[in-house]
Structure 1
Amino acid sequence: MTSSRRRFLLAGGTIAAAGLAGCLADGSSDLPDDVPDTAVTNAPIPDSPGDYDYETMGSGDRPTVVYYGDWKCPHCATFSTGALNELVGDYVQSGDLDLRFRAWNIFGNDDVRAARAGLAVWNVDPQHYWTFHEYVMENQGESSREWATTDWLTTAAEKVGVSDVDAVRSQIEDDEYTRLMSRTATDATNAGYRGTPTLVVDGQVVKAYEGDSLPQATRNALDQFASR
């Protein structure tokens, strides 16, 4: 890894691994049965989810906040299982805003597979997508290891009740959604975003979290965006 690449990852709050351990069990058999039950997992989704390329919550016709995240980023897990619930509870469930997730694969290894799995769940069983998202974030493995195997991801999908896990597996193995993931990486890079999590409100990057909460400046931006 070049020094500039390492600085890029650290600037975005994502810890880059100097090396990846090989020949490790993926731990899919050890995944817990407990499924998160939060504002995020109970978020509404558009009536016609198939009209949306990327994972979306809300009515589908409100101003849209965009969250760029990496499935293996520990800071994304902190945001996703913490302040994101505040955002969803206060702004999405109320019908004021929509939110879209776009997987930006900063690590460039098994986070690519996880992003493909997320899109597969969104297309196969969108009603269970946000529960899958939170389950993976809650049970994230170490960022220095390639834990997001096909078996791990399909086991996670099964745990949260995805209706057709075989279809999810097939889409992971067939390298589906390359175009969509490449578009996200291009859009994020062209916009000058520096890492994950990146929360974009009305075209402007805002601070995603402060502890377990949304920063007041972020709430102000959300309030102004919702009033449009």
Structure 2
Amino acid sequence: MPNTSRRTSKRDLTLVAVLVVAAIGLITYLVVSPPGGDDGAAQQPAGPSGPSASQSEGSAGADESPLSGLARRDEGDPTALGPVDAPVTMVMYSDYRCPFCAKFSRDIEPELIDRYVDSGQLRIEWRDFPIFGEQSEMAARAGRAAAEQGRFWEYNRAIYEDSPERGHPDLTREVLLDYAHEVGMPDMETFTADLDDPSLDEPVREDLRQGSSIGVSSTPTFVINGEPILGAQPLDTFVEVIEGAAGQQ
């Protein structure tokens, strides 16, 4: 038992250290990268998933954060919640095996949906950022497979609801299939085949490229109308930033 305690303590300290490094990285980025500079990848992710031309023009002003153009606002995006024209957008980079992402999903996300998404003030956009090994990558693919059948958020929440307070859940192929059954996946045969479909990895890689380009190195990381929030912060932190952003519209 003492050895287990020491391993748990060491793991917790490691996670805290990762968050601190990420905070320093993002703060440094915001200080040294002027808006409208040469780092186009940090402001406009390449490919069809990036912001439209009109959005890019709107985010190129000299007084705007270089993170303000991250929201894609794709109509019908199954991995997003809220209207495409919501005044406030929250882009969140998450890993299915991240205990802090699970805490946010259980404790904070429902409150934000009730207060802001349902009233049309906030749009939440998911970004896959699998950093905890092969199981994280497989879970990200499974989430995309669920999205193909309109069950993304149900599947997402089923995983996080079962996640431990500390440490990483064991998300094997069998477990991922069990969650699909649990949420009533309409076509289990297709879902199972999709778990072996590498084409579903491309949107995951695009999310990773976008996050890495702005300095994301830990999960969860949030960007609300260009303002970063690191970790599963208290509800009041999100409320303050969201309402502040809404007041600037």
TM-score by length of 1: 0.71
CA displacement at 1:100 relative to structure 2: 0.9
Q: Is the 8 A contact 1:47 1:59 kept in 2?
A: no
For the structure 1 residues 103 and 94, does the alpha-carbon distance in structure 2 shift closer, same or farther, using more than 3 Å as the test? same
CA displacement at 1:61 relative to structure 2: 2.5
Residue in 1 that maps onto 2:93 = 68
Structure of higher CA gyration radius: 2
Q: Distance in 1 between matches of 2:80 and 2:152?
A: 9
Residue in 2 that maps onto 1:115 = 140
1:55 aligns with 2:76: no
Residue in 2 that maps onto 1:97 = 122
In structure 1, what residue type is equivalent to 2:81? M
1:31-46 equivalence runs, <5 A: none
Residue in 2 that maps onto 1:214 = 235
1:171 aligns with 2:194: yes
In structure 2, what residue type is equivalent to 1:12? L
Q: Distance in 1 between matches of 2:245 and 2:168?
A: 37
1:15-34 equivalence runs, <5 A: none
Residues 70-105 of structure 1: CA distance to partner in whole angstroms, max 9, x if unpaired?
A: 000011111111111111111101111110111101
In structure 1, what residue type is equivalent to 2:118? Q
CA displacement at 1:130 relative to structure 2: 1.3
CA displacement at 1:115 relative to structure 2: 0.4
Q: Is the 8 A contact 1:207 1:215 kept in 2?
A: no
Unaligned runs of 5+ in 1: 1-5, 14-45
Q: Distance in 2 between matches of 1:214 and 1:162?
A: 31
CA displacement at 1:175 relative to structure 2: 2.2
- Coordinate RMSD, CA, aligned: 2.6
State the identity %: 26
Q: Is the 8 A contact 1:75 1:196 kept in 2?
A: yes
Residue in 1 that maps onto 2:244 = 224
Residue in 2 that maps onto 1:12 = 19
Unaligned runs of 5+ in 2: 1-12, 21-72
Aligned residues: 182
The answer to which structure has the higher helix fraction is: 2
TM-score by length of 2: 0.65
Q: Distance in 2 between matches of 1:65 and 1:57?
A: 10
